[in-house]
Each structure stands twice: as C-alpha cells, then as structure tokens.
Amino acid sequence: MLCLLAGATVFAQKERYKIGLIDLMLLKRQKLSAIPLAKELNADGLEVDMGGLGNRPTFDNKLLTDSIRQQFLKTAKENGIEIASLAMTGYYAQSFCGREEYLKSITDCIETMRLMNVKTAFLPMGIQCDISINKSVRDSVISRLKVAGKMAQDAGVVIAIETSLSAKEERKLLKEINCPAIKIYFNFSNPLKGGRDLYKEMKILGKKNIAMIHATNKDSVWLQNDPQIDLYKVKRVLDKMKWSGWLVVERSRDAKQPTNVKYNYGANVAYLKSVFQVKDSRR
C-alpha cells in the first residue's frame, strides 16, 4: 500500500509539473531528431521552433507541410514526447512592434498550433520591443498584442510573451492588453538580471498570468549548482500558488562545456525532475 501511495504521489507531481526542452537550444531547430533526443534526456516534452524569420513575411516553417507535420506528430507519439509549445524565436532579433508585416507570422503560428493540437505559443518581445528600455514602442506593442490576442482567443490558444519588465509592470501591461489569451512566459533569469526577488516576482505576477516557465538562468553553471536559485523554494511558492504547467530548460549550461548538449540538458532535466516530480522533503 505504501508503495502504491508513493507511486501515486510521484505521478501526481509529474502531472502537475512537466519538464521540457527546446529544439533550438538542442541545436535541432525544427528537426525531427530533436524528439528522440528529448526522450533520451528524459524530458516530458519539447518546445518546437517555428523556424527563422529574417526579412521574410513569415517563419521558415516546414510544419505547415502535411507530410512533415505528420511525421513530427507520429515520432512524438512513438517517443512519448509532448509538443509543449511552439516558439516564435525569430522575434528575438526581429521587431514584432515595428515590422510592417507581422500578421502573417502570427496567423501561420496559430494555424500550426491548430494542426498540431498545441495550446501555447512563445513570443519574445526581443530587444527592439523591450518597453522597459524603449518606452516609445509601448503603444505599438500593446496594440499589436491586442490583435494577436484576439486571433489566439478566437482559436482557443494562448500566446505567452516574455519581457524584461518587473512582475508589477507585467501585470499592468496585461491589464492594458486586456485579453485572456495573452499571458506571461516567466523566465527565472529576468528578475535575477534585474536584481529583483525571484520568489516574490512569481507571487506578484500570480497563477493566472503565468502560462509557462523558462526554468533557466544565464549560462555559467547547471541549475543544481546555481547559487542564485533555490528550486525547492521555487516549487514551494508555485505549490502555494496552485500553479501547474511546463518548466522548460533554456540555458543554465556549464560554461566549461557550453556546446555539450547531452551533458548540460541531461543534468538540468534530471535535477528539475528530482525537485518538481517528487514530494518536497524540505518543507
């Protein structure tokens, strides 16, 4: 009976917190081989990139091709890997708030989500649309996110944005956008870079505003060796908030071997699972 109860507890924790990887960071942007690699590294899922953007009107996205998409879905099912989200990382370098053409890229992402039954897309605001630095783009950011949010809401999906704003300012931004389909993709590294309290920022932002979490800090050491983050405390805060969802590893690579994919991401996935998918004994 005790074994059964322990197994049920682990299962419940795994259902509550899922650990994901990013095909782009695995050096396999929209490549089928990212899926078996995610399985090998014991991840629960994969964030799949929409492809490069550059000066094109939309992403270099092969997943709208039926045969390619079906192969992705088939391989994911065979390997027991969920497609956690689609990522519009082309907007790290390109200007979501300034490009003349942006609707086509959002339309294509939402259509790909529909075809792949993915409920969350990642949209970084990037350098050019960082309203904490450039306040002049705020109106454009808000107006375009209102449009994108309405498109996502109509499709029954969520667009999760990442900014460098404080949690208080992100709540204010979400209020101005006023669309339930726009939420925050919370990244541990943002409050840490800004000198803010990571744990308080999560509480201020609140359960309903966090779509997913990039469980990551700057590259230097693995998460388990990072003195800036107490993941057990993170879990206790999220438990108390009653939040559940995906924790996706982005960076936190060992600076001595930054390109060793299996070494870095295998270790970070293992540590996140040891913290988030077993009952916390450090209460």
Over the chain, what is the mean pLDDT?
Answer: 94
Q: Is 85 within a domain?
A: yes
CA-to-CA dists, residue 43 to 40, 59, 246, 262, angstroms: 8, 26, 11, 12
Residue 184, both tokens? 């925050």
Number of folded domains that form the chain: 1
Q: Is 8 within a domain?
A: no
SS3 187: strand
Q: Is 103 within a domain?
A: yes
pLDDT tens for residues 235-256?
A: 999 999 999 999 999 999 999 9
Q: Is 147 within a domain?
A: yes
Percent of the chain with pLDDT over 90: 90
For residues 218 and 250, what is the distance between their CA atoms, to the nearest angstrom? 9
Range of the domain at 29: 18-276
Q: Is 99 within a domain?
A: yes
The mean pLDDT of 190-202, rounded to a whole number, is: 97
CATH number at residue 100: 3.20.20.150
Radius of gyration of the chain (CA): 18
Q: Is 3 within a domain?
A: no
Task: Please check the confidence at residue 9 and state whether its pLDDT lies above 90.
Answer: no
Task: Please check the confidence at residue 6 and state whether its pLDDT lies above 90.
Answer: no
For residues 245 and 140, what is the distance between their CA atoms, to the nearest angstrom? 30
Q: Is 282 within a domain?
A: no
* CB within 8 Å of 140: residues ≥ 6 apart: 97, 98, 129
Q: How confident is the model at residue 77 (pLDDT cuts 50, 70, 90)?
A: very high
Contact 272, 247 (CB under 8 A): yes
Q: Is 11 within a domain?
A: no
Q: Which of 64, 60, 28 is nearest to 46 (CA)?
A: 28
Paired residues of 160 in beta bridges: 122, 183
pTM of the model: 0.93
CA-to-CA dists, residue 261 to 188, 219, 251, 254, angstroms: 21, 13, 10, 10
- Residue 282 has a pLDDT of 56
The mean pLDDT of 68-86, rounded to a whole number, is: 98
Contact 50, 87 (CB under 8 A): yes
| Torsion angles phi and psi, residue 102, rounded to 5 | -135, -20
